[in-house]
Chain A
Amino acid sequence: MGRIQLKSVTKSFGDVQVIPPLDLTIEDGEFTVFVGPSGCGKSTLLRLIAGLEDITSGSIDIDGSDATDVPPAKRGLAMVFQSYALYPHMTVRKNIAFPLRMAKLDQAEIDKRVEGAASVLNLTDYLDRRPGQLSGGQRQRVAIGRAIVREPAAFLFDEPLSNLDAALRVGMRLEISELHERLATTMIYVTHDQVEAMTMADKIVVLQAGVIEQVGSPLELYRTPRNLFVAGFIGSPKMNFIEGPEAAKHGAQTIGIRPEHITVSETEGEWSGVVSVSEHLGSDTFFHVHETGLAETITVRADGEVGFRHGDRIHMTPRADVIHRFDAKGLRIE
């Protein structure tokens, strides 16, 4: 059971308030992702929940009981660190067994749980190696193994995939998602990568400068971003923002249209511009279009077979039903 509730939590380092009063509830069994640009306070927030940093004011409830002053070890949470933080002088077996040894479990139980975790994570052949002899992905799995043997109320992941190469990252992303399906334990995952957030989360918390910009499911955030920041942060490539007369036509200060919601044509369309760069990914093609008179660059996603080149003049038509409108304060207009 792991329902975590933050009540007007704040955090200051000296005179600098990095987290203004913040309320958030994470339901039991939910996979919650904190996402935001670097320095937005997402790691700090995770460390506050873990108890590695003291909160300046407010309270944290875990499973309905106040955990504000409970030391990290007693909160029943397990954390996977960005650097994995494996103990280099211990074998994989000892690394995974460490929290159990600290909890003074008897050896038979420790062995059973370590073997169990190792088989879940495909580490059985590596139990007697040291972390230094493992690859990045294997180290990552050891770190996860050390977290799951404790059978915690919730897992905390601090950018766990940022040290892995791209291919491995996709694989580990899947493994963590599968682990969540299997264990059905609350997980809080911090990342700056919106793709990780979109693919893994039940609930995404978008943070900027310590403030929660929006909380919602991945598709909610994609479909109805509450403000310009969330609109620009969620989705890849980024949403196009257009100001001026074109926006005024829709009765807004700024309008946003996602690259995938614009259709391109050689002959006719609402807008036109000159292709500056075209990125061919095979499945898709991204065009960066200049000289549109709307914004400096408009990004358009088209089918992989569309073959415009640098310097071609093309015409674009936005899908009217998915134009996002924002007012002068950057807030969404429904």
Chain B
Amino acid sequence: MATQHSRSVARLMMAPAVVLLLGWMLVPLTMTLYFSFKKYLPLRGGDLGWVGFDNYVRFVSSSSFWPAVQATLVIVGGVLVITVVLGILLAMLLDQPMWGQGVVRILVIAPFFVMPTVSALVWKNMFMDPVNGLLAHLWRFFGAEPISWLSEASMTSIIMIVSWQWLPFATLILLTAIQSLDSEQLEAAEMDGAPVLKRFYHIVLPHLSRAITIVILIQTIFLLSIFAEIFVTTGGAFGTRTLTYLIFQRVLESQNVGLGSAGGVYAIILANIVAIFLMRIVGKNLDA
């Protein structure tokens, strides 16, 4: 198939897409790099010239930097643990033959189709509102004092919202992985004297390991940049200011484009480290 001729035609055909993607990526990247080395305050004098690595140093040495890193890690870690654990359980549940399987599976995937802004608003107003929220009603039903979720348990709330959004993704990937497990392996383990939990630990979990890694890496890339959920709910208050949100605040609230861009470059480096691992694993998966 792949003659010299067909290869060059293929290159030609792919060129527009490659050029477009490259431009899409390169222009903002170059601009971010460009601004990160400038003192650029749009409302306070505009472009004030080159400052070298000043912005990079200032971004890291700011008192909000380490709390932001911590908040990011807590949110990413929390969501990963919840989605992977619940994802495995849900996937095993959905793998069981049951009535209305197709409908149930679509329902499980549904949260993934809801826009982050919308789901955050729904959670904020319908569930977590301390007066009218469903959770407040539930608390009152049991005679407890409703929690004002977003201020008292801000981190937990955001982790809950984001987990709800990402659980379908994890479930779906893990479900396909579980379905590819050879049932004879489980039967063999059963004959070999492994009870249910040991079968899960020795057979199912190792079989899922690659799918779990992929879920973790893909989610990490997207979770590092969650923004809407924080913007709509707490607005970065109550210790929920993540790295992404800090960059946003530096650029738009403090009107310091240079400082924000430097933060952006840090974020790029971080995301790429994760991406390299992901490419390797996915690549290995495709080779096998």
A contact set with B: CB distance below 8 Å: 50, 52, 71-74, 77-79, 81-83, 85-90, 98-99, 102-103, 146, 150
Q: Are A99 and B187 in contact (CB under 8 A)?
A: no
Q: Are B188's CB and A81's CB within 8 A?
A: yes
Q: How many residues of B are in contact with the other chain, CB < 8 A?
A: 18
Q: Taking CB as reference atom, which chain A residue is nearest B203?
A: A87
Is there contact, CB below 8 Å, between B184 and A81? yes
* Known pairs A82-B184, A89-B207, A98-B202; A52 contacts B192 (CB<8 A): no
Is A85 a contact of B188 with CB atoms below 8 Å?
yes
Q: 8 Å CB contacts to A: which residues of B199-235?
A: 202-203, 206-207, 209
Contact of A78 with B191 in the complex, beta carbons under 8 Å: yes
Query: Is B281 on the interface with A (CB-CB < 8 A)?
Result: no
Number of A-B contacts (CB under 8 A): 58
Q: In the assembled complex, how far is the CB of residue B284 from the closest CB belonging to chain A, in whole angstroms?
A: 13
Closest 9 CB pairs of A and B: A99-B192, A85-B188, A73-B193, A85-B184, A102-B193, A89-B206, A81-B184, A85-B185, A102-B194
Chain B residues near A72 (CB-CB < 8 A):
187, 190-191
Cβ–Cβ < 8 Å partners of B195 in chain A? 73
A89–B202 CA distance with the chains assembled, in angstroms: 9
> Assuming A73-B192, A90-B206, A98-B192, what are 16 further A-B pairs, CB within 8 angstroms?
A72-B190, A72-B191, A73-B191, A73-B193, A73-B195, A79-B187, A79-B191, A82-B184, A85-B185, A85-B187, A86-B185, A89-B207, A98-B194, A99-B191, A99-B192, A99-B193
B-side contacts of A90, CB under 8 Å = 206
CA distance A83 to B184 in the complex (A): 7
Q: How far is the CB of B212 from chain A (nearest CB, A)?
A: 13
Q: How far is the CB of A25 from chain B (nearest CB, A)?
A: 22
B: residues with CB less than 8 A from A are 182, 184-185, 187-195, 198, 202-203, 206-207, 209
Q: Across the interface, do B190 and A73 meet the contact criterion of CB distance under 8 Å?
A: yes
Does the CB pair B182–A83 fall under 8 Å?
A: yes
Instruction: Decide: A102 and B192 in contact? CB cutoff 8 A.
Output: yes
Q: Are A52 and B190 in contact (CB under 8 A)?
A: yes
Would you call the interface of chain A mostly helix, strand, loop, or mixed?
A: loop
* Interface CB pairs A-B, < 8 A, 14: A50-B191, A52-B187, A73-B191, A73-B192, A73-B193, A85-B184, A87-B185, A87-B188, A89-B206, A89-B207, A98-B194, A98-B202, A102-B198, A146-B188
How far in angstroms is the closest Cβ of chain B from A161? 16
Residue of A50, A52, A73, A85 with most partner-chain B CB within 10 A: A85
Complex partner residue of B194 from A73, A85, A146, CB under 8 angstroms: A73
Task: Please measure, in the bound complex, the distance between the C-alpha atom of A87 and the C-alpha atom of B209, giving whole angstroms.
Answer: 14
**Residues of chain A with a CB closer than 8 A to B189's CB:** 87, 98
Q: Give CA–CA (A50, B189) in the complex, Å.
A: 13
Given contacts A87-B202, A87-B203, A102-B198, contact A52 B185 (CB under 8 A): no
Q: Which residues of B contact A87 (CB under 8 A)?
A: 185, 188-189, 202-203, 206
| Contact indicator B202/A52 (Cβ below 8 Å) | no
Q: Return chain A residues, CB-CB under 8 Å to B185.
A: 85-87
Quote the shortest CB–CB distance from B33 to chain A (angstroms): 44
Return A260 CB to nearest CB of chain B, in Å.
Answer: 39
| Cβ-closest chain A residue relative to B184 | A85
State how many angstroms separate the Cβ of B269 from the closest Cβ of chain A: 34
Taking CB atoms, residues of chain A closer than 8 Å to B202 are: 87, 98
Residues of B within 8 A of A150 (CB): 192
Partner of A77, one of B187, B188, B191: B191
CB pair B184–A103 under 8 Å, yes or no, is no
Contact B187 A146 (CB under 8 A): no
A85 to B185, CA, bound (A): 5
> B195: shortest Cβ distance to chain A, in Å?
8
Shortest CB distance A87–B (Å): 6
- Please report the C-alpha to C-alpha distance between residue A146 and residue B194 in the assembled complex, in whole angstroms: 14
- What is the bound-complex CA distance between A89 and B181, given in angstroms? 12
* Complex Cα spacing A82 to B184, Å: 9
